[in-house]
């Protein structure tokens, strides 16, 4: 999520004009890659977490052999999560190939001459685009619910519908000006001539490269470093195992014996603090596994040279800096197509404020969409953390001038947030199987059962 900092310059009439930045791609390494090469501090942190991982793994292996008699028994959670991976990947393939529909339609539309282009004259294309997006989200979700996908495969569907839709939107938005210019230029493509429209190869490269802003060309490396590819792939699998160890060894044993019908509210609140270490480890694994290892893995395979996927979020001096630096890839998209668009549409300081709120809201909604569908609950923990508490914390952080105080406040917020996430979603997951549903189906859908649990018979 992003709370952009815009540059404001005075004009001759002393009016403040917002100058929006444009994303520029250039060759650069990820920050952690640079820190490994230049600083020993990051190596100490890496070695510490590697040591924790080894200890967790040894505990799991000992428990597997002694209590279950099956080596690697603890991998049951990984197997359960990815049991439907083949069918999930088949649907993902259909999702990807469906993007050729808007690409082809856009190309065809761009080459039809027109005297003028307005929203009214091209309303049929707008309706077609919205219809495509609706179908793009509907059919994968229908498959998800019909097949009863477990959590990890559900995340693949929901996250990929979001990612691919964002990519398609960027491609269209960045090429509409080019299409309008071509349509109104009066020029036509004669047989044998080559169009300047983005090629299918450029489109496919964009759909897979770790960038959310379309460009015809990106900076590329000279070759693929296969040693790096193997290292990043190993880290991805190791961090999946790390999260698996956290849940199978420390979270699931607590929740499996938890009875929401008899546990008092005070113990539910205490559980929030109990799960803070587990939540924090998962947060670090998510960051390093996804934003560093996974994106660098694809960058290396595709020779994508701009690897600035995040910045120094762990040492942020305010909330806006933290949200922006956590995920620069998504930040670029939010800035270009929500913040900038809303601010320009409304104008003035009011437009900037509404644009920031829109970014908060969009990020909160999609986080809740991912987690709510994966866990099959309407329990807007992520929405509250991002939109409500995130907004409040952002407002408060603007009054904190001491960088050290702010950094402590940021980590306090992250620790409490991760504890809430693991505790509340975990409790509701088990409550949905152990508590009797409310008599009204709508009330049962929107009300967490562990708030007022009556034991199911």
Q: Provide the annotated active-site residues.
A: 367
Contact between 327 and 291 under an 8 Å Cβ cutoff? The reply is yes
Query: Is the Cβ–Cβ distance between 423 and 274 less than 8 Å?
Result: yes
The neighbouring-strand residues paired with 18 are 8
87 in Cβ contact with 154 (< 8 Å) = no
Give the span between the Cα atoms of 381 and 388, in whole angstroms. 10
Place of tokens 């799991």: 60
Strand-pairing partners, residue 19, are 7
Dihedral Cα 82, 84, 88, 89, nearest 10 deg: 70
Instruction: Compute φ and ψ for 186, nearest 5 degrees.
Output: 85, 0
> 457 is written with which tokens?
């018979």
For the chain, report the end-to-end CA distance as a whole number of angstroms. Answer: 43
> Considering only CA atoms, which of 386, 376, 387, 368 is closest in space to residue 448?
376
Mark residue 297 as left, alpha or beta (left: phi above 0; alpha: psi -120 to 50; beta: remaining): alpha
DSSP state of 18: E
CA 188, 191, 196, 200 dihedral sign is: positive
């Amino acid at each position: 999520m992003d709370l952009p900092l815009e540059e404001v310059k005075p004009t001759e009439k002393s009016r403040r004009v917002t100058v929006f930045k444009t994303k520029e791609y250039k060759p650069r390494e990820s920050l952690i890659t640079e820190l490994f090469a230049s600083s020993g501090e990051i190596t100490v942190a890496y070695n510490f977490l590697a040591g924790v991982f080894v200890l967790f793994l040894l505990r799991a292996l000992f428990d597997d052999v002694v209590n279950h008699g099956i080596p690697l028994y603890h991998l049951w959670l990984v197997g359960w999560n990815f049991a439907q991976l083949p069918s999930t990947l088949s649907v993902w393939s259909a999702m990807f190939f469906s993007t050729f529909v808007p690409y082809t339609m856009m190309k065809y539309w761009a080459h039809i001459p027109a005297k003028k282009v307005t929203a009214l004259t091209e309303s049929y294309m707008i309706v077609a685009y919205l219809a495509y997006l609706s179908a793009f989200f509907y059919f994968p979700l229908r498959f998800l619910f019909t097949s009863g996908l477990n959590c990890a495969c559900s995340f693949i569907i929901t996250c990929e519908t979001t990612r691919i839709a964002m990519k398609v939107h960027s491609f269209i938005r960045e090429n509409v000006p080019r299409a309008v210019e071509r349509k109104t230029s009066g020029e036509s493509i004669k047989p044998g001539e080559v169009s300047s429209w983005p090629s299918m190869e450029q489109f496919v490269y964009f759909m897979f490269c770790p960038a959310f802003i379309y460009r015809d060309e990106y900076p590329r490396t000279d070759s693929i470093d296969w040693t790096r590819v193997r290292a990043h792939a190993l880290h991805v699998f190791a961090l999946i195992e790390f999260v698996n160890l956290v849940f199978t060894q420390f979270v699931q044993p607590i929740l499996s014996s938890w009875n929401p019908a008899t546990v008092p509210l005070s113990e539910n609140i205490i559980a929030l603090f109990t799960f803070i270490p587990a939540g924090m480890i998962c947060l670090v694994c998510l960051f390093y596994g996804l934003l560093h290892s996974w994106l660098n893995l694809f960058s290396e395979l595709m020779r994508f040279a701009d690897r600035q996927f995040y910045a120094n979020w762990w040492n942020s001096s305010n909330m806006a800096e933290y949200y922006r630096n956590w995920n620069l890839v998504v930040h670029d998209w939010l800035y270009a197509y929500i913040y900038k668009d809303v601010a320009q549409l409304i104008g003035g300081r009011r437009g900037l404020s509404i644009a920031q709120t829109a970014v908060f809201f969009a990020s909160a909604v999609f986080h809740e969409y991912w987690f709510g569908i994966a866990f099959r609950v309407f329990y807007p923990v992520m929405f509250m953390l991002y939109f409500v508490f995130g907004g409040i914390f952002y407002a408060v952080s603007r009054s904190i001038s001491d960088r050290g105080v702010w950094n402590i406040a940021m980590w306090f917020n992250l620790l409490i947030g991760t504890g809430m996430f693991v505790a509340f979603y975990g409790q509701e997951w088990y409550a949905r199987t152990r508590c009797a549903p409310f008599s009204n189906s709508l009330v049962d859908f929107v009300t967490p059962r562990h708030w007022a649990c009556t034991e199911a018979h």
